[in-house]
Homo-oligomer: A and B are copies of this chain.
Amino acid sequence: MFSLEHLTSFVAVAEELHFGRAAARLTMTQPPLSRRIQALEHEVGVELLERSRRTVRLTPAGRVFLADARRILELSEQAALSARRVPGGEVGTVTLGFTAATAYSYLETVLAAVRDRLPHVDLVLREMVSSAQRAALLAGDLDLGLVRPPMGGPGLATAPLAREPLVAALPADHRLARRGTDPDVRDFDGEPFVMYSPAEARYFYEVLSRAFRDARVTPRYVQHLAQVHTILTLVRSGHGVSLVPAAATRLGLTGVVLRPVTGVGEEPVELEMAWRATNDNPALAALVDLLRSAAAAG
């Protein structure tokens, strides 16, 4: 196999079309350069240059090989540069877990941040429920997860990412939707209510339960569901009202009115990121730093 020195030598000669000048450019004398090119030609198995005493010209094979040689040399330089940038986290891959609910909210923020600030970091996206994310993080199948609290635990580190308000989800023809003022949590007392599932959507179940307890209201739960978009579908068809994270606005579902709601606290819904404490992926560290400062900046 030829070496990269052979290739740089060949490119120099091909560009200068003059062994002497090429040798000077390579800071060597020309006899060894001649030998190198001969060796390269022997190795490749084809004449690359046509020497006619006074002039040097590329053969057709030489032209083809020159293009490849340039690409190989460029790739080689890039390879070293890329590798050097890995420990700083600028280059690499992060496997990111997210739940269905984050897909249309904070995930966009993460993607935009990575595109702008860590353009050489590849994100591999995996939609997974929170429990599966915990296992995958610990197993090393996932680098980072976008999850609802609480996600602490042995071996896992977490950091808050964002808080968001709850909004009331009302059928378009509901009296609270038609009323001029925004609904209050107390308006839901005794109201048919599409509730989160305590098992599969424990976080939202607890946030809402606490809000109702604090306000001393008791909606009438008509269904328990895990996913925001399913809840909204039932609200639309008039089975009841609900409270969903504000990001649900981005779903753009028609037939459901989403309105600010008072009495449930400012921004009760929390989102955090979680990762294995011993994960040594530098790109993960860089991404965690990036998201941490983005969260701090608001």
Contact = CB atoms under 8 A, between A and B. Distances in A.
Given A65-B82, A283-B60, A46 B4 contact: no
Contact of A60 (B8, B62, B72, B280): B280
A113 B86 CA distance: 47
A79 B75 CA distance: 14
Q: Would you call the interface of chain A mostly helix, strand, loop, or mixed? A: helix
Contact of A46 (B2, B44, B76, B87): B87
A166 interface: no
A72 B68 contact: no
Interface in A19-77: 43-48, 59-65, 68-69, 71-72, 75-76
Nearest to A8: B1
A281 interface: yes
Contacts of A84: 44-46, 61
Going nearest first, the 9 A-B pairs with the smallest beta carbon separation are A68-B79, A61-B86, A65-B83, A61-B83, A44-B80, A45-B84, A64-B86, A3-B3, A44-B83
Interface of A: 1-5, 8, 43-48, 59-65, 68-69, 71-72, 75-76, 78-80, 82-84, 86-87, 91-93, 280-283
5 contacts: A4-B4, A45-B84, A64-B91, A71-B75, A75-B75
